[in-house]
Every structure is written in C-alpha cells, then in structure tokens.
Amino acid sequence: MTAFTPWQSLIGGLLIGLSAALMVLYLGKIAGISGIVGQLWQGAKSDRQWRGAFTLGLLLSPLLYQLIAPLPAMLITADWPQLVAAGLLVGFGTRLGSGCTSGHGVCGLSRLSIRSLVATLTFMATAIVVVWLTRHVLT
C-alpha cells in the first residue's frame, strides 16, 4: 500500500505535459520515450542529436532533483529474473506497438487518437490483469 498523493501526482503530470508541449511546439516531435530511446542509433544525424539530448536530460533529472530535495522512495519488489523478463517484454512490446505510456498514453490521447486509445486501454488492462494474477491468484 502506498499513500494517495493526488497533488504531487497532478504537479508531476503538469510538468510531463509541459515537456511534451515544448517538444511538439518547438521541434514538432512526439515526446514518446520508447520511440526516442529505441531509435537513438537510427535515422539522420539531426534526429540522433535531439533524441540523445532528450535522453541525456531524462537520465540527469534525478541529479537536478537532488539539488532541491532528497529523492523519493523507490521500492522494486521484482527479483532479477522478473526484471529481465519485464525489461524484454517492455522493450519489445513498446516497439511492436509503436509507443508506451508517454507516446500513446499522454501524447496520443492528447491528440484524440483512437489508435492510441486502443493501445492505452490494452496495456492498462493487461498490466492490471498481471498484477491481479501475481498478487491475488498465484500467491
């Protein structure tokens, strides 16, 4: 059980929305993390540059956060084999489905894309079923 934090989560969401807004208004690009990370070594040099710069910002963000406040708790209950399996599924799945929580869930839904709505409902439902199975059925 984790604490209900509607205000922090809303503020975090507004910042994510601001980031997606900057990306589309200034660069004309979708702030979709799986697309950006998955294509870091693909495409034209200019594309690799903006993707690299965005990824660097993402990676360094906890260091900036730490200048202001200590990092919040990070509790990972999955063991190493589960992390390996989950990583493979997330990496392969997001590329096959052309997006993740950011590309489909935030940017796609903001564009009122039905395709992204289908993807978002599908990955949410699957994740809910997997959590239900691992927490309530298989234990």
Partner 1 sequence: MRTISLIAFFSGLIFGIGLIIGGMTNPAKVLAFLDITGDWDPSLMFVMLGAIAVSFFAFRQAARKSTSLLGWPVNLPDTTRIDRKLVMGAVLFGAGWGLAGFCPGPAMVALLFGSAKPWIFVTSMLAGMWLHSRLFGKG
Minimum CB distance to partner 1, residue 55 (Å): 6
Among 44, 104, 138, 139, binds partner 1 (CB under 8 A): 104
Q: Which two structure tokens, joined as six digits, stand for 54?
A: 């965005």
19 binds partner 1 (CB under 8 A): yes
28 binds partner 1 (CB under 8 A): yes
46 binds partner 1 (CB under 8 A): yes
Q: H-helix or E-strand containing 4?
A: none
| Positions 110 through 129 that interact with partner 1 (CB under 8 A) | 110-111, 113-115, 118-120, 122-129
Minimum CB distance to partner 1, residue 134 (Å): 7
| Positions 54 through 93 that interact with partner 1 (CB under 8 A) | 54-65, 71-78, 80, 82-93
Place of tokens 């903006």: 50
Quick one: 56 exposed, middle or buried, by C-beta within 10 A (0-12, 13-18, 19+)? exposed
